[in-house]
């Protein structure tokens, strides 16, 4: 028979692996009697583990959540996955979240067995963020937890939104649906009750006004899921579509392999050794034309006509710019679409054109 301490660790590991365990099955798995199982469960309770008895024909036990975090057991794969996730969080997060992840990573590494410490030590992960025009604002972990809790309990939120003083602004009211991260920033996807429309709020600009409001029945997210909806929002599409609002096809006088190296979100098809067809999307026709022009080669527009018109507009604009003048009555950048209310609220500015 294993020692009491080894038996307790084995019992704890089993209780963590599934929700309910019949007492007889635990006894069988551990090779002990039901009486010994009951005694070991009592010992775990004395150590602070909230093991509850489950009523039923067979009886059984369940490891519930407690008021404090007790010691946990992880198998080798779970321990490696946990350290990798903490490395990414420590290098990719901001502010208090990054500090907390770094401290948690240090704690986990201290208690890893030698065999696992060597495996994890050989894997060094560095999360490199895409350069941004403005630094990402730190996010309060408490706000993230409060927003996530409201999503789970389906409670209407009251909050101030903005970067400056909000004393003279009315509180916002929204039904929270998802807390998401996109390109290094945290967002709340919610139904804005004041505007009767979907909105994407930056979490670093949210100041909660507790208590939260009444419960609500969740609405379906446009597009069917939050990933599709959010992709469409940041691409400037409407109606929950994740596709670009403008998509066109051109022929380029370059090998397909060369174009493919600089095309992240497009279809490249080979026509001849030094010629290919490129289908690409963007947030406006002018930005799409500009993105294609960056390939610095001969271009033939296949369609649609709006893309040809965008090239003509850019050609005239560039000609006037090279000559040192702007046509009377044309404001520079006037071909860009006006920002939507949601884009202004997110503070993102104009969605940038795709970079080749």
Question: Which of the four pLDDT bands, split at 50, 70 and 90, describes residue 240?
Answer: low
Q: Which token pair is 133?
A: 């025009």
Poorest-confidence range of 76-90, 138-152, 166-180?
76-90
pLDDT at 350 over 50: no
> Rounded to two decimals, what is the model's pTM?
0.54
As a three-state string, the secondary structure of 8-67 is: HHHHHHHHHHCCEEEHHHHHHHHCCCHHHHHHHHHHHHHCCCCEEEECCCCCEEEECCCC
Phi and psi, residue 171, nearest 5°:
-65, 145
Q: What is the rounded CA–CA span in Å between residue 24 and residue 32? A: 10
Output the CA torsion 254→259→260→262 (10° steps). 160
Run of H or E including 202: strand 197-202
- How confident is the model over 155-165, as a mean pLDDT? 83
> Which residue in 26, 25, 36 sits closest to 1, CA to CA?
36
Task: Give the sign of the dihedral formed by CA 185, CA 188, CA 194, CA 197.
Answer: positive
Question: Which of the four pLDDT bands, split at 50, 70 and 90, describes residue 325?
Answer: low
β-strand 185-192 against 197-202: which pairing, if any? Answer: antiparallel
CB-CB contact of 273 with 255 (8 Å): yes
pLDDT at 92 over 70: no
Poorest-confidence range of 118-122, 181-185, 202-206, 211-215?
118-122
Report which of residues 237 and 43 the model is more confident about: 43
Q: What is the rounded CA–CA span in Å between residue 323 and residue 316? A: 11
Run of H or E including 163: none
pLDDT at 96 over 80: no
- Give percent of the chain with pLDDT exceeding 70: 74
- Angle formed at CA 59 by CA 55 and CA 64, multiple of 5 degrees: 65
Q: Which token pair is 355?
A: 């970079």
Which residues, in sequence order, are CB contacts of 88 under 8 Å at separation 6+?
125, 127
Q: What is the rounded CA–CA span in Å between residue 314 and residue 301? A: 14
Supply the DSSP symbol for 195: T
CB-CB contact of 138 with 94 (8 Å): yes
In the numeric block, the tokens 């080979």 are attached to: 270
Supply the DSSP symbol for 234: H
pLDDT at 346 over 60: no
- Helix, strand, coil percentages (3-state) for the chain, rounded to 5, are 40, 20, 40
Task: Give the sign of the dihedral formed by CA 184, CA 186, CA 191, CA 194.
Answer: negative
């Amino acid at each position: 028979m294993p020692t009491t301490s080894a038996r307790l660790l084995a019992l704890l590991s089993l209780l963590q692996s599934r929700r309910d365990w019949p007492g007889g099955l635990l006894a069988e798995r551990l090779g002990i009697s039901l009486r010994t199982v009951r005694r070991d469960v009592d010992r775990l309770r004395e150590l602070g583990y909230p093991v509850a008895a489950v009523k039923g024909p067979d009886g059984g036990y369940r490891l519930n959540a407690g008021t404090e975090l007790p010691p946990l057991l992880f198998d080798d794969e779970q321990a490696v996955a946990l350290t990798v996730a903490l490395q990414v969080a420590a290098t990719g997060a901001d502010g208090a979240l990054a500090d907390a992840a770094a401290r948690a990573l240090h704690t986990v590494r201290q208690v890893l067995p030698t065999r696992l410490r060597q495996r994890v030590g050989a894997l060094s992960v560095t999360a490199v963020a895409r350069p941004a025009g403005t630094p990402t604002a730190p996010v309060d972990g408490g706000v993230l937890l409060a927003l996530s809790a409201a999503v789970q309990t389906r409670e209407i939120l009251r909050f101030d939104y903005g970067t400056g003083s909000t004393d003279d602004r009315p509180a916002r009211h929204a039904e929270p649906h998802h807390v998401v991260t996109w390109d290094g920033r945290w967002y709340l996807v919610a139904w804005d009750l004041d505007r009767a429309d979907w909105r994407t709020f930056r979490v670093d600009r949210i100041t909660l006004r507790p208590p939260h409001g009444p419960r609500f029945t969740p609405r379906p997210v446009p597009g069917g899921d939050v990933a599709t909806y959010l992709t469409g929002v940041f691409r400037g599409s409407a109606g929950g579509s994740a596709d670009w609002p403008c998509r066109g096809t051109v022929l380029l006088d370059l090998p397909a392999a060369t174009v493919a190296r600089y095309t992240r979100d497009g279809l490249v098809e080979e026509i001849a050794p030094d010629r290919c067809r490129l289908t690409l999307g963007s947030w406006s026709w002018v930005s799409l034309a500009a993105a294609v022009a960056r390939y610095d080669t001969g271009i033939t527009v296949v369609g649609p006509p709006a893309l040809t018109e965008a090239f003509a507009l850019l050609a005239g604009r560039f000609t006037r710019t090279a000559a040192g003048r702007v046509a009377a009555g044309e404001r520079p950048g006037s071909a860009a679409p006006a920002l939507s209310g949601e884009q202004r609220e997110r503070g993102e500015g104009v969605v940038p054109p795709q970079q080749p």
